[in-house]
Amino acid sequence: MSVANLCHRLQPQVSARTAAGFAEVLRRLGGPLQVAVAGRIKSGKSTLVNALIGRRVAPTDVGECTRLVTRFQYGTVDRVEIVFNDGRKQVLPFSADGMIPAELGIDIDQVSHIEAYLTNAVLQGMTVIDTPGLGSLDAASVSRTEELLGAAKHRKPDDDEEEEEGSDELDDTSRNAVAGAEAVLYVVTQGVRADDQQALAAFTAATASREAGPVNAIAVLNKADTIAPESVEGSGGDVWKAATLLSEKQASTLKPRVADVLPVIGLIAESAESGGFTSPDAEALRQLAEMDDDILETMLISADIFTSWECDVAAGTRLRLLEKLDLFGVRYAVEAIRKEPEITAGSLRRKLLDASGLEAVRQRLSIVFAARADGIKAAAALASVTALAHASGDPAERQRVHDAIEVLLAKPEAHQLRLLEALTLVASGAVDMPEDLSEEVLRVGSNADIGAQLGKPGAPRAELAAHALERAGWWRSFASFGATPAQSRVAHVVHRAYFLIWQQIRE
């Protein structure tokens, strides 16, 4: 609210163009948190988007639509709009299967992005943005993703291109400053590559200084069922254990750019959550469960054998099961049926959903993003306001905005913003801290649960209160004695965070 008040107060004091940018910032502050789902091509981003939304609406096969940024947001009527580069909009009908058509039948070079409005409860609290895959051979698609993630270079006007004096239209730099996502869900598969790390390093919420970090970024290891357990030491031959261990290893590689890496099987999650798994599918799996063990084990060696083997379940039906569950899901469902022969189709669907890991991802999204959405949006908004002032080219305007922000940050109610700023400075390496202190700052700043913040999950309240007060005193002493000026600024923020935690526990 304080950032919104800042924008309202500054609008009459800045140029028409900057004021227009502030209006867009205000609009974003009033809307849900915008989370981009990003990653390499063929990492299963769109499948995961469908699972998160709970509806199979994003095309997963390669087509024109998958080369465009698509924003899924709440609407009172389901509709799809193509937004062109010149601002024009064209309503697009859903395809017969309820999805956005993979082929649009228009020149996509003229298209900015797609807006999909859905009557979906999930989207009331979070706008989900599906992005083209990084690493694609299609340079234009990669450029669209990079622009959304804030990585694109600001375009400068050509020599013969003049900007209209006093125009209240946003220029490219200003427009980019308030575009893009405020948080990112980054999708990786078995191998984290250099360009995955580069993409996360380039991500800046609202393009200014809000880099990817444990406050606004988490990653998922998708297609966890395709990991060979024998390739991961300590897995004991268990696929999910192997995926969990690999996720932990990837988390150490990607941190502090992400809060965590969680394993998920997007295909099973999509099928179970979006209505793709049906009673006929459950009946076909029940028939497979009645087959001889040796024969079924042979069939489950590969997709080719599974679909070509002669048996009572039609080949087309088996192909449909593969498309919805893959071999891992088929095996898991058959084992569930054998353990509980009377299991209903609905209960089997819920077991498959549990096996997909989607619920853990949703819980982490809630902890990392939803619980502090206002703070993330406010931090991104301040970054946008700073970028807009800088883009104006007016030193006096820039100073006026800078002074107003400093006054805002000095107020007690702005503590969450200062904590997010301190966390970003430490996570990005802008402020150099000893490793143990860096980890403590990240822990305190990137968790919503008090026990997790204090590194003492499940501890009694008295122990938590004593520890919070002790650490508050330590950080106050560190800020005054032995810290560099930059470290001292962070230490004062952490001291106050601990003090507020102590107060909260006592209350």
Annotate 155-178 with DSSP letters as a single string.
Answer: PPPPTT--PPTT--S--HHHHHHT
Task: Say if residue 40's pLDDT is above 90.
Answer: no
Task: Say if residue 291's pLDDT is above 70.
Answer: yes
Would you state the pLDDT for residue 401?
A: 86
Task: Say if residue 472's pLDDT is above 80.
Answer: yes
pTM for the model stands at 0.73
Tens digits of residue pLDDT in 160-169: 333 333 334 4
Please name the helix (run of DSSP H) or strand (run of DSSP E) that holds residue 299, with its range, or none. helix 293-299
pLDDT band, very low/low/confident/very high, at 135 (cuts 50, 70, 90): low
Residue 297, burial from CB neighbour count under 10 angstroms (0-12, 13-18, 19+): exposed
224-257 burial, b for 16+ CB within 10 Å, e for fewer? Answer: bbebebeebeebeeebbbbbbbbbeebbeebbbb
- Distance between CA atoms of residues 473 and 470, nearest Å: 5
Mean pLDDT value across residues 66-94:
87
Would you state the pLDDT for residue 98?
A: 85
Mean pLDDT value across residues 441-460:
85
- Distance between CA atoms of residues 233 and 61, nearest Å: 34
- pLDDT-wise least confident of 93-102, 176-185, 415-424: 176-185
**Runs of H (alpha helix) within 188-259:** 194-202, 239-254
Tens digits of residue pLDDT in 180-216: 677 788 888 887 776 677 666 655 433 334 555 656 7
> Between residues 381 and 338, which one has the greater pLDDT?
338
Residue 148, burial from CB neighbour count under 10 angstroms (0-12, 13-18, 19+): buried
Would you state the pLDDT for residue 376?
A: 75
Would you state the pLDDT for residue 354?
A: 95
Tens digits of residue pLDDT in 48-68: 999 999 998 888 766 556 678
Q: Which residues pair with 73 in a beta bridge?
A: 117
The first and second tokens of residue 319, run together, are: 């192909």
Residue 497, burial from CB neighbour count under 10 angstroms (0-12, 13-18, 19+): buried
Sign of the alpha-carbon dihedral angle for 463, 467, 468, 470: positive
| Amino acid (1-letter code) at residue 13 | Q
- Distance between CA atoms of residues 131 and 133, nearest Å: 6
Mean pLDDT of the chain: 81
- Say what the alpha-carbon torsion angle 115, 120, 121, 124 is, to the nearest 10 degrees: 20
Would you state the pLDDT for residue 169?
A: 41
Three-state SS at 345: helix
